[in-house]
Structure 1
């Protein structure tokens, strides 16, 4: 779990099953071995690099912008994709953009993007939590 990191360079040299980034900015995370699930929430300008040999990597981004995902083989970037999403305010909550504090009295919908690396390519899909403030149930918007 990494929280509040700014302008950090973090490298994992052994297998990791899960990494959570919360409120991190302008940072680079590198995994040099097998990598599992990455959760990125309320972050900006993050670069996450992992080896193409990772058979399946699941990345879930919430309320984050400019998240660069890179698959690397022997120091060479083979594939990359950029994820950028922002909070959406509910009806009647005013206008504005950007990051919202969790302490907001009015519940906000937190859009999410699920990206799966399958060993050769990225597949990104939007997901939505039904009644997120109550149940936390996640459903795929495309199916």
Structure 2
């Protein structure tokens, strides 16, 4: 919705077998594309840390942004506006144990894109946990 523009994110947390653990979509304000991707990774980390049964489990956070994944995985820190969020993500990843952030192409995340689009079409923020 423009760059920068009013944005929302949509994410799906899955276990190693692909089972959906949680879906969420939320409003994150007016940001550029890189900040949106970084904030989405941060939100996924926050959700994982908030659930004691997920702490210490092997978690892979998948993003379709090569730039955001690179910055989060210690290949720089983006611009000044990204620094604190990236450090927060790195801290959460350390707290989570054997967790990592990986890149996968946009074609692989159609559910996440649908959730983000629903938010931009006027839906409310949502957070739905499945049985863990």
Q: Give the TM-score normalised by the residue count of structure 1.
A: 0.25
Report the structure, 1 or 2, having the larger helix content.
2
Q: Give the TM-score normalised by the residue count of structure 2.
A: 0.26
Asked which structure has the greater RCO (Cα within 8 Å, sep 6+), the reply is 2
